[in-house]
Structure 1
Amino acid sequence: MQTGLKSAASCPVCAAVVRKADGPFLLEQLTLTAPRDDEVRVRIVAVGMCHTDLAVRARMLETPLPVVLGHEGAGIVEQAGSAVTRVAPGDHVILTFASCGRCGPCESGHPAECVHFRELNFSGHRPDGTHALCDDSGTVLSDRFFAQSSYATHAIATERNVVKIPKDFPLELAGPLGCGISTGSGTVLNALQPGPGGSFANFGCGSVGLSGIMGASLAGATINIAIDRKPARLELARELGATHTICMPDEDVVATVRKITGGGVDTAMDTTGRVEIIRQMVDALRPGGRSAVVAVSPPGAQLELDANDLMAGNKSIQGVSQGACVPDIFLPRLIEVWRQKRFPFDRLITFYNFDQINQAVADMEVGRTVKAVLRMPEAI
């Protein structure tokens, strides 16, 4: 059993704890250990809410309970371990996903493909089995979610999963860049790359999908199709750069995409995780078309495709995690295009106070809110 979490160097925090499947987020007073040599303690100013957090709560992903979730944190470094050189106390940072930095994919510049990705982001503890959080009784909780567990007033992160950002960029906007916004835009810009004059179709207009629509506009796609069930989301997609919209299930999606593009779309992304929609995405590709799946599907979900269509059509489908990005490079670029008013991701955000976290969940689940961001009590 781990001991010694409570010490003179530990920090009291208020955190949102999930103690049972589909249970509410409970605000509890916990103790956060001091950072290790390669870690930093960050005062969280704001944190985005992502459907991956809700997938863990629903047990679609098996991070142990009880757990402190949250993986789109942004805040100010308060303390840095002795081996940390990239950030210092007072720096403004975005917290993003964890990677080992030593495996083949990491060393070749593909940290989202880290061999140890699941262990580092979903296990609920450090690689050595230890934790950074405990409750009043001294019992440890699952934490280290994406090496941050940022549904809390403070978080411990590693040097590798914090990205230093300019102090004049609003921290309350920064968190979602660490996952949802970079996943959608990065999948388009880094993986699919529709290019100037190309075509792109996005299936599902949540924050990830709408970020993909904005990414396709940045890439120069001249056909940029948004597909969703909610007319309001499609209207927003138009405002963010979609050239065409398709409302499911009123329209035959595959036939409509083929009509718009003259035979099939160059590139496409699914953000729903629903296998029947993924099948539509692949069917809507032109010969040689490329597609990406970026969302969590229910456990055991099986995808059926027409193997001959895939082969003879030279079509491809790939999974993409974290927008295939290198956060230290990609996130500052997103900030810069936002400054240039070419990437208005802030239009997706609705703010909530931290103690409104369960209302934020309810609003996201019914589609009332695209991207919820929780402001901490001490937010600046």
Structure 2
Amino acid sequence: MLSKAAVIYNPGEKYVIENIEVASPKANEVMVKIVGCGLCHTDELAQTGIIPITMPVVLGHEGAGVVVEIGPGVEGINVGDHVVLSYSSCGHCEMCLTGNANICVNNMRLNFGGAMSDGTSRLSLNGKDVSNFFGHSSFGNYAVANQRNVVVVDKDVDLTILGPLGCGIQTGAGTVLNGLRCKFGTSIVVFGAGAVGCAAIMAAKIANCQNIIAIDIVPEKLQLAKELGATHVINGKEVEDVVKEIQEITKGGAHYSVETTGVPALVNQSLYSLRTGGHCAVVGVSGDVTINVFGAIMLEGRTMQGFIQGNAIPQLFIPKLVEYFKAGLFPLDKLIKVYDLEQINEAYDDVHKGKALKAVVKM
């Protein structure tokens, strides 16, 4: 199948639109005609070489589309189904077998190894293999994915906006609902009001948290956070002591915090803003961070925990988010700005400039 796709040839370079070949699905795989794909920071980490991956590569891992072909052995997915594509997992390691596929032992190989689970590629350009990403590569007209990546969704909802549910939105919402399991009437503070942070805020509202505090330095993001459910917003540039402000709002500290930025200073704030026994969820990509373990964690009995993909089983969690969206409780569409695939480089520039919170390229 001939497919227009956005290709990266070398680390740090811009996307180039090419016509590539997409081979038919093999056993346990399906081919999806992509309608839209979200732009995620993880794609950028691969584009710039921070996540090492063999190039040339077609990135994109928040795809949504329509199933057009099915390989042998596929069950529960039919041609014509509307689907969202999510992360890859093996299905047979200890983590997968205990319901923790989001931390599959083979996560790195399957999502960042550049090949399908059998070690071969379904993508080629001028007769040479092109690496895939997250086991499907959704920055193109067509993608082949293992059935474990595929989530069947309601046909009544516009597929253009559903792709981000496969990673970023699932991560933010799932961290609150599946990971932290925030209790009624508790307080939560979210560091970073980007797409992941806003998803966490919407989820906290669904969980009936009493205080939902958003931290950012961009006024427009804080305003949107309020529209989505934040009860309080704090501009880190305008407040002298963010931790003290949080402690005053929550009368002693938040029960939960979600750190989405990866900024070392904010990682520390996400710990010190907690009350005794509080739980900090780390979902941002950080480098080395200096933490006083005794003062920040041990002395107050706090927990600091990393969460991948919001502890979500996509086939169970994503349809729930779609139902929340249809009920008006999870207004995903307010986050999204749509671009054509040919505008993918412009879309990333707009995200960096704050002109788009969650960009989606449509095919």
TM-score, normalising length from structure 2? 0.98
Q: Given that residues 35 and 65 in structure 2 are in contact (C-alpha distance below 8 angstroms), is that contact kept between their aligned partners in structure 1?
A: yes
Counterpart residue identity of residue 44, structure 2 = L
Matched, 1:259 2:248: yes
- 2:272 counterpart (277, 283, 292): 283
Give matches, 1:318-333, under 5 Å.
318-333=305-320
The answer for the alignment partner of 1:31 in structure 2 is: 21
2:291 to 281, 302, 305: 305
* Counterpart residue number, 1:8: none
1:334-365, CA deviations, whole angstroms, 9 ceiling, x for partnerless residues?
01111110110110000111111111010011
Partner of 1:5: none
What does residue 67 of structure 1 align with? 57
- Asked if the contact 2:2–2:22 (Cα under 8 Å) also holds between the matched residues in 1, the reply is yes
Structure 1 CA distance for aligned equivalents of residues 330 and 78 of structure 2: 29
Judge which range, 224-233 or 98-107, deviates more.
98-107
Check whether the contact 2:154–2:322 (CA below 8 A) recurs between aligned residues.
no
Q: Per-residue deviation at 1:64?
A: 2.0
Give the equivalent residue in structure 1 for 2:75: 85
Structure 1 residue identity aligned to 2:327: Q
Q: For residues 15-54 of structure 1, what are the alpha-carbon distances to aligned partners after superposition, in whole Å with 9 as ceiling and x for unaligned?
A: 1001122211100011111110111010001111111111
Q: Which residue is equivalent to 1:201?
A: 189
Question: In 2, distance between residues paired with 1:225 and 1:328?
Answer: 30
Q: In structure 2, what is the equivalent of residue 239 of structure 1?
A: 227
1:19 aligns with 2:6: no
Aligned residue identity for 1:190: N
Q: State how 1:132-211 maps to structure 2 within 5 Å.
A: 132-136=122-126, 138-143=127-132, 145-211=133-199
Q: In the alignment, residue 284 of structure 1 is paired with which amino acid?
A: S
Match of residue 348, structure 1, among 327, 335, 346? 335
- 4+ residue runs of structure 1 moved beyond 2 angstroms? 126-129
- Distance (Å, rounded) in 2 between the aligned partners of 1:335 and 1:179: 14
Amino acid of the structure 2 residue aligned with 1:189: L
Secondary structure, in 3 states, of the residue corresponding to 2:134?
Answer: helix
The range that moved more, 222-231 or 102-111, is 102-111
TM-superposed CA distance for 1:197, in Å, is 0.3
Unaligned runs of 5+ in 2: none
How far has the Cα of 1:127 moved from its partner? Answer: 3.6
TM-score norm. by structure 1 comes to 0.93
**CA distance, structure 1, for counterparts of residue 310 and residue 339 of structure 2:** 26
- Deviation sequence 1:61-119 (CA, Å, 0-9, x none): 11222210000000111111110012011111000001111111111111101111111
Whichever residue aligns with residue 90 of structure 1, its letter is G
Give the letter for the 2:201 counterpart.
I
Identify the residue that residue 121 of structure 1 maps to in structure 2.
111
Q: 2:211 aligns with which of 198, 206, 223?
A: 223
